[in-house]
Amino acid sequence: MKVLTIVVITLGLIGMSFVNAPSNDIEGIQFMDISFADALKKAKEEKKLIFVDAYAVWCGPCKWMEANTFRDKEVGEAFNKNFINLKIDMEKGEGPELARKYNVRAYPTLFLIDGEGNVVKRILGAKKKDQLLSEVEEFTN
């Protein structure tokens, strides 16, 4: 019986690892799982801007953008090519400090930030695909 339990638990853990594994074939923006400091370093090295989705888990418009705008293929192509993409929960981890530093007062707040940490563009509120692409058009090629 112990062997069966161990086998079932092991198979369950293996199955969960596939569920949580990142997928490179996801359409839309591929957000990186790195710290803000690492993103700054990467932005300098790659000579790119950082796109930050400053959100809160309870924010309805943030969830709408995640499910719609950020998953759009055209949006993903533009953002993945031109920016270092980060999603940061402004109420957890390094989020509260960044929220203070960048004066986040509403959700979602979207930023383009250079490798020195300077805000190049601030975008407030939920945006549809065409609106978001228009907002960043001057920074994409």
Catalytic site residue from 59, 86, 88, 113:
59
Catalytic site residue from 62, 84, 86, 113:
62
Look up 59 and say whether it is catalytic. Answer: yes
DSSP single-letter state for residue 24: T
For residues 130 and 132, what is the distance between their CA atoms, to the nearest angstrom? Answer: 6
Look up 104 and say whether it is catalytic. Answer: no
Q: Give the chain's length.
A: 141
Q: Report the SS3 class of residue 123.
A: strand
Residues 6 or more apart whose Cβ sits within 8 Å of residue 125: 61, 106, 108
Burial 11-30 (b: 16+ CB within 10 A, else e): eeeeeeeeeeeeeeeeebbe
Task: State the catalytic residues.
Answer: 59, 62
